[in-house]
Homo-oligomer: A and B are copies of this chain.
């Protein structure tokens, strides 16, 4: 028995999110079929991150177990021949049988893309949020900086999460804005909010993006972020930005890299 770790990229536009669910086609369902077809044995994968409908990934992760003798590195090409073009395996390797993609310490990087311009770009519409309002990058950077460190991020958790005893403390290593600077009344073109952290609560990146955009527009003061965190109340933060601007860029497992 071997455990294989897959690095998965997908365009989330046409899927009801990553995780298998009864209401529609998901990335994991398509992936499970491809793995089962390749190995000849009905196989279920275990995913690292349950991205929402419409959210994209360049580096989600999943594992499955198999008795097949194929080398771990070969699965990427073998599975891609059995997957649609909007799902690609971009890396595969054998990992210890004890490895679990969700219960292992990770460093996750998410990016939220914002197209800040007078007119939308139809070729970017499925992969960025179009924002017609002028955004003050200085204010956005100040707000993002306040998120760095270990905090209780309850204010940035979807109100659909109802378990009051859930641990909502997370660490954000870096929260940055990738954008050209310039006069506050100029459009920026494509901007990226990049968050790198130990883990994220449900909808956390989208709520942070929505809050930071409202700060850039001037709807929320630039220095409000520490107070929003301290409130520990979803109502204190801004709106949840829509899913299509979000991409799960990378999941790193330091203990695997250290081998």
Contacts and interface: CB of A to CB of B under 8 A. Distances in A.
Contacts of A80: 119
Nearest to A127: B123
B10 A119 contact: no
A136 interface: no
A121 interface: yes
A120 B11 contact: no
Interface stretch (A81-89, A164-172, A214-222): A81-89
A76 interface: yes
A124 to B, nearest CB: 9
Contacts of A120: 9, 85, 88
Contact of A119 (B56, B88, B123, B247): B88
Given A88-B119, A119-B88, A119-B90, A125 B11 contact: yes
A122 B76 contact: no
B88 A123 contact: no
A20 interface: no
Interface in A57-114: 58, 76, 80, 85-91
Contacts of A89: 119
B86 A121 contact: no
A123 B85 contact: no
A56 B89 CA distance: 27
Nearest to A85: B125
A14 to B, nearest CB: 10
Contacts of A119: 9, 76, 80, 88-91
Contacts of A122: 9-11, 56, 85-88
Interface in A10-64: 10-11, 56, 58
A58, A85, A123, A127: most-surrounded residue (chain B CB, <10 A): A123
A128 to B, nearest CB: 10
Interface of A: 9-11, 56, 58, 76, 80, 85-91, 118-123, 125-127, 247
15 contacts: A9-B121, A9-B122, A9-B123, A11-B122, A56-B122, A58-B123, A76-B119, A80-B119, A85-B122, A87-B122, A88-B119, A90-B118, A91-B119, A123-B126, A123-B247
Counting from the closest, the 6 A-B pairs by CB-CB distance are A90-B119, A11-B122, A86-B122, A11-B123, A56-B123, A10-B122
